[in-house]
């Protein structure tokens, strides 16, 4: 499918054209940028990042939030980033299977995206993929990240609003203090709030957020996602936040996106597959030095 066909299909709310466009962006960066240059971003949908530690219930929360928005008649797209096997670039978790019942609804689009070795929680092309979907017919875009700790702060460079998910059982205050996630949250969620220690965690996060962010209030919402408890409150917070125009943050957001895209395109000829082949040929040589070998890439 050519770029003109993809653009025409997008104007007709064609899911096949959307999938083709995402595949083009993911697998052919140069053509992907060409596609994005032809997109109309004047009515861009908000991108909501859902992040937090593994086991915090992010996928269940995304499922509940998407279900609520679908019931309200909204159109929702979900990009769920899966960790990749170190031996290939395939997605191995399959978040789409966990949200399979939502596939019966024509107003949702769900895609699992391999992180492809990215050290943070996002795929290397996630910025472009999310922007592409935001310029189509959806009302909300949800990005669910892998959940890999402090490196998850990169979601702040992509999402218009970031939801940081915690649990009472992960509530060691010292660990929370160390986490860069504390700095990027637009809203905190204490999921699995039926567990012991939830009130303490909510209180702690409220205390942490109070006075820490001079330019904004950071709400803390307890949820039990698998029972849809607290999901309405979370939705209302997200809705109110996405109605607020913050040109200062928009400039910062776009500068981060620009940096990621420039870095990616300058590195597009350096792949893990190519590095693997080059290393196979040289690393068994006597006296092999990885840092000497790297010079040809660093100084190129």
67 and 192 inside one domain: yes
Contact call for residues 93 and 83 (beta carbons, < 8 A): yes
Co-location of 126 and 19 in the same domain: no
80 and 209 both lie in a single domain? yes
Residue 124 Ramachandran class (φ > 0 left, ψ -120 to 50 alpha, else beta): alpha
pLDDT of residue 99: 65
Residue 8 lies in a domain: yes
Same domain, 224 and 103: yes
Range of the domain at 35: 1-39
Residues 244, 109 share a domain: yes
**Whether residue 198 sits in one domain with residue 149:** yes
Residue 85 inside a domain? The answer is yes
Helix (H) or strand (E) holding 276: helix 272-282
Tell whether 259 is covered by a domain.
no
Q: Residue 94 has what pLDDT?
A: 45
Residue 31 pLDDT: 92
Report pLDDT for 23. 94
**Ordered DSSP codes for 89-135:** --B-S-HHHHTGGGGG-TTEEEEEEE-TT-SSSS-TTHHHHHHHHHT
Asked whether residue 56 falls in the same domain as residue 197, the answer is yes
With respect to residue 263, please indicate whether it lies within any of the assigned structural domains. no
In total, the chain counts a number of residues equal to: 300
Query: Based on the domain organization, do 27 and 48 belong to the same domain?
Result: no
Per-residue pLDDT, 156: 74
In this prediction, residue 132 carries a pLDDT of: 95
In total, how many domains does the chain have?
2
CATH number, domain of 166, equals 3.40.50.300
- Residue 109's pLDDT is what? 93
- Is residue 146 in a domain? yes
Boundary-marking domain end, from 203, 219, 248: 248
Residue 202 lies inside a defined structural domain of this protein: yes
Q: In 3D, which of 208, 227, 229, 226 has the Cα closest to residue 217?
A: 208
Where the chain has pLDDT below 50, the residues are 85-96, 119, 150-151, 173-174, 177-178
- Residues 206 and 57 occupy one common structural domain: yes
User: Does residue 229 belong to any structural domain of this protein?
Assistant: yes
Same domain? 12 vs 96:
no
Looking at the structure, do residues 23 and 61 belong to the same domain, yes or no?
A: no
Give the per-residue SS3 of 235-266.
HHHHHHHHCCCCHHHHHHHHHHHHHHHHHHHH
Residue 61 in any domain: the answer is yes
- What single-letter DSSP state applies at residue 170? G
Q: pLDDT of 14-72, one tens digit each?
A: 999 999 999 999 888 889 999 999 999 988 999 999 988 878 899 899 999 999 999 99
């Amino acid at each position: 499918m050519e770029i003109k066909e993809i653009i025409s299909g997008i104007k007709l709310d064609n899911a096949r054209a959307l999938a083709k466009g995402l595949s083009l962006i993911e697998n052919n960066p140069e053509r992907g940028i060409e596609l994005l240059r032809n997109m109309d971003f004047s009515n861009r949908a908000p991108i909501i990042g859902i992040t937090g530690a593994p086991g915090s219930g992010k996928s269940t929360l995304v499922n509940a939030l998407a279900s609520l928005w679908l019931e309200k008649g909204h159109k929702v797209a979900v990009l769920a980033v899966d960790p990749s096997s170190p031996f290939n670039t395939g997605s191995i978790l399959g978040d789409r299977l966990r949200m399979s019942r939502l596939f019966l609804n024509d107003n949702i689009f769900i895609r699992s995206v391999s992180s492809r070795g990215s050290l943070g929680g996002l795929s290397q092309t996630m910025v472009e993929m999310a922007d592409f979907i935001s310029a189509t017919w959806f009302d909300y875009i949800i990005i669910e990240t892998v959940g890999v700790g402090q490196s998850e702060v990169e979601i702040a460079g992509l999402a218009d609003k970031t939801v940081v998910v915690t649990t009472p059982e992960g509530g060691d205050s010292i660990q929370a203090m160390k986490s860069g996630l504390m700095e990027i949250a637009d809203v905190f969620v204490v999921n699995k709030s039926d567990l012991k220690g939830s009130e303490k965690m909510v209180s702690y996060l409220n205390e942490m957020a109070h006075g820490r962010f001079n330019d904004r209030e950071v709400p803390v919402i307890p949820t039990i996602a698998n029972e849809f408890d607290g999901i309405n409150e979370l939705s209302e917070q997200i809705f109110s936040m996405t109605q607020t125009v913050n040109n200062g943050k928009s400039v910062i957001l776009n500068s981060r996106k620009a940096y990621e895209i420039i870095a990616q395109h300058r590195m597009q000829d350096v792949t893990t597959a190519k590095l693997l082949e080059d290393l196979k040929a040289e690393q068994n040589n006597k006296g092999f030095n990885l840092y000497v070998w790297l010079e040809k890439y660093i100084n190129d």
